[in-house]
Structure 1
Amino acid sequence: MLLGDVIDPDALAHGKPLDGVRILALEQMQALPWATQLLARLGADVVKVEAIGTGDQGRGSLPAMTDPEGRRVGATFLRTNLGKRSTCIDLRSERGRQLVLDMAPQFDVVAENFRTGALARLGLAYDDVAAVHPAVVYLSVSGFGHSGSPYGDMPAFAPVVEAMSGIYEMKREGDEPPLVAPVGALGDIGTALFGVIGVLAGLRQRDRTGRGTHVDVAMLDAMVAMTDIVTNFWSMGLRGGELGPLLMHGFRASDGWFIVQVGREHQFARLVEEVGHPEWADDPRFATRQGWLDHLEDVLRPAIEGWAADKTSLEASRALGAVGVAAGPCLSDEQVVADPHVAARDMLVEVPRTDDVDQPVLVPGNPVKMSGVAQGPETRVPWLGEHTDEVLAAELGLDAEALAALRADGVIG
């Protein structure tokens, strides 16, 4: 999908679920920006507040492209800020703080992902904003939340909370070091999803009661929830990364690997019949699920991989799927980009580069599909401070002279 494409103009004419919802986002990096980008895709108007000069820390990530002014715009920023507007305000100055407090009542949601306590010191915490805007839905995303954690003073990025959830140690083998960030930014995007849920629930509560709320989402809480098997399996007697007796393994085909999951006896019977050994369904070696694992390497793997040797990973997966066994190919990055499902579901947005590189930047599309709601149009990420004057003029009625004075004093950028 090209940037700016509208997939269903008729649906777009009927609007989006969050049309009219306004979000003021004091955000950086990925956890909160991913959440507000999803809300923007559902119709919300999102205004970012960024630091003067440097902006959102995600702008400084690598790889990167340069904007029309030659400033670096990093990959983290490019994939989490479509459809937003950018303002630059010095939150450490009293006048900058007051600008945010003056604007807050114009917005349904104020969202922030500063380290716990940072905005309280600046006078922009929930209590400060609620004093001027009692109906605000105030979303805080932080590493360890705003109450009760002994880790509240620690900074956190996604791999930190992923590690503290127990999933790295559960998956670590032997004396090998932990495999860091094995699925990308699970800690960020998992947290973002809970943040979106909290905002939507907060808006519903506000509409019902007239009262605002503080939505407090800790990244570590989100990861304990997302990696639920760590604590649940421990409580049920499994130790050292054990997953319980089931087949959930990779097997080699002619062009690569495919994954099979079999956890029930009828599925095992269908698997072994498909690979040419229906008699194994009644074989005493495989009478229990543990038997499947005990004989995985010496019996099952040679049979499955021998059966798949003349098939591609997709062909093998389709053949198993046809008999009710869940399987799927392990795709490379290039294969995902070219995958027909990804194209059919509009799950990649092409963002043209601004630095004379032909290959557009690819950003994941909106995974939330709704009947009667158009996918798109997507608009590019904002350049740093691009909308400062526009937003302050519209929200606070500041004229060109007032804006020039604020800029000259370093309050806005």
Structure 2
Amino acid sequence: MMGAAMGRPLDGVKVLAVENFVAGPFCSMWLADAGAEVVKVESPGQGDFSRSTSPTRDDGEGVPQGLSFLRTNRNKKSVTLDLKQPEGQALFRELAVKADILVENLRPGVMERLGIDYNALREINPGLIYVAVSGFGQKDLLPSPFKDNPAFDIVGQAMSGLMYRPEREGDRPTYLGFSLADLEGGILGAYGAMLALIQRGRTGKGQLVDISLYDASLILNEISVAMFSVLGTAPKPGLHAVTAPFGTYRARDGYIVIAVLGEHIWQRFCEVIGRADLVGDPRFRDGITRQANNAVLNELIEAWLASYSRADAVSLLVKGGVPASIVQDVGDLFHCPHVAARNMLMQFDDPVWGKVSIAGNPVKMSAVPEAEASLPPRLGEHTESVLHDWLGMDSDRIGELRARAVV
């Protein structure tokens, strides 16, 4: 395989992760895919809350195993450590001395109360890159007035204006139906970690990388921000801010999308549907005027589509240089040739859930082999090996810690 001899970009990089649910685990999973040794520090007996979040299945020993945990924890190691005990905190600090990157998405203030926040850890490891993902950011950098508020993904979607963007009935805002803010926050956390790692190579110093789910959502609403700043109005729900046709349209056997952006593509589109006369129509002079006359335009398009299947319509449009595709549901992904060719579904053979498919890694690199799909770790599976390898601890010492429920 191309790149197999080159290894991975983060080989040799050590990452500590104190994380729950999606945003933090997603961030550290990207680092693990890139070759970092990611040690997930979890509380004994409980672990990441997503281990017990429904849907769950009994593992045969009476312990529920959450399907959600499998989504964002591949290629990691799990160490149990009671961070509420002083000895657990002391061990965590020893691990942090060895770490290059720390990822956490606890509520702001929790790590500080435990004595293992960025300000405490940089005293013992000045090169540590500390990535904190939270609803509204930390108090150290540009503190938000909402910094103490609890937040999940949906809060970022709500406050950023994104919930007014989808087409909907009435004036009720719409949850987008997936963890957009969490996923974007995790991606930005990994990106920030890479920037800090490059800068540390120049200065020798680590830093705090502060990621807010509100901020991560806001940047995805950027076109609406620009338009509102100039025109004072928000784009209509479900419509592109500056052009048409750009959306979903019904063919004979279902929906397709058509994306016309720029007058050169509008001209191509008119030629494909056999309506070259529309190019000179003042109602459709440019993207803004076409959008203002979107209802009329939709009628023209769907009248043309009524005699075509989705596949035939898309074939004609693509052949004519117009971006278009059929609209797929999640089940279609399992049969899509692009998904197969790009290795975008990974599969686990999990002892509890059986064969489980998860989204793959979309970063393809010529000198890096494809990311693997190793099973996420069992709770505390690597406690002994990590304490031995990172801290030189022997089995007797680890046994003593287990007896006191420190690990």
The bucket for the TM-score relative to the shorter chain is over 0.9
Structure-to-structure mapping, 1:255-294, within 5 angstroms: 255-294=253-292
CA RMSD of superposed structures (Å)? 1.9
The more displaced of 254-263 and 58-67 is 58-67
In 1, distance between residues paired with 2:14 and 2:65?
Answer: 25
Whether 2:295 is the aligned partner of 1:303: answer: no
Q: Is the 8 A contact 1:238 1:244 kept in 2?
A: no
Partner of 1:348: 345
TM-score, normalised with respect to structure 1: 0.91
Partner of 1:234: 228
Partner of 2:212: 218
Partner of 1:3: none
Whether 2:157 is the aligned partner of 1:162: answer: yes
Partner of 1:186: 180
- Paired AA for residue 200 in structure 2: R
The more displaced of 231-240 and 386-395 is 231-240
Partner of 2:399: 404
Partner of 1:4: none
* Structure 2: gaps of 5 or more residues: none
- Paired AA for residue 335 in structure 2: A
Distance of aligned partners of 1:262 and 1:129 in 2 relative to their CA distance in 1, 3 Å threshold: same
Deviation at 1:207, TM superposition (A): 1.2
Structure-to-structure mapping, 1:13-412, within 5 angstroms: 13-67=5-59, 69=61, 71-147=63-139, 148-171=143-166, 173=168, 175-182=170-177, 184-242=178-236, 243-298=241-296, 300-355=297-352, 357=354, 360-412=355-407
Q: Is the 8 A contact 2:156 2:213 kept in 1?
A: yes
- Paired AA for residue 152 in structure 2: F
In 2, distance between residues paired with 1:68 and 1:40?
Answer: 29
* Structure 1: gaps of 5 or more residues: 1-7
Secondary structure at 1:350 match in 2: strand
In 2, distance between residues paired with 1:366 and 1:290?
Answer: 37
Work out the number of aligned pairs and report it. Answer: 400
Partner of 1:5: none
Distance of aligned partners of 1:122 and 1:208 in 2 relative to their CA distance in 1, 3 Å threshold: same
Relative contact order (alpha carbons < 8 A, sep ≥ 6): 1 or 2 greater? 1
In 2, distance between residues paired with 1:133 and 1:156?
Answer: 30
Secondary structure at 2:3 match in 1: helix
TM-score, normalised with respect to structure 2: 0.93
Deviation at 1:333, TM superposition (A): 1.2
In 1, distance between residues paired with 2:191 and 2:288?
Answer: 39
Identity %: 36
In 1, distance between residues paired with 2:353 and 2:230?
Answer: 57
In 1, distance between residues paired with 2:146 and 2:25?
Answer: 23
In 1, distance between residues paired with 2:332 and 2:346?
Answer: 16
- Paired AA for residue 218 in structure 2: V
Secondary structure at 2:312 match in 1: helix
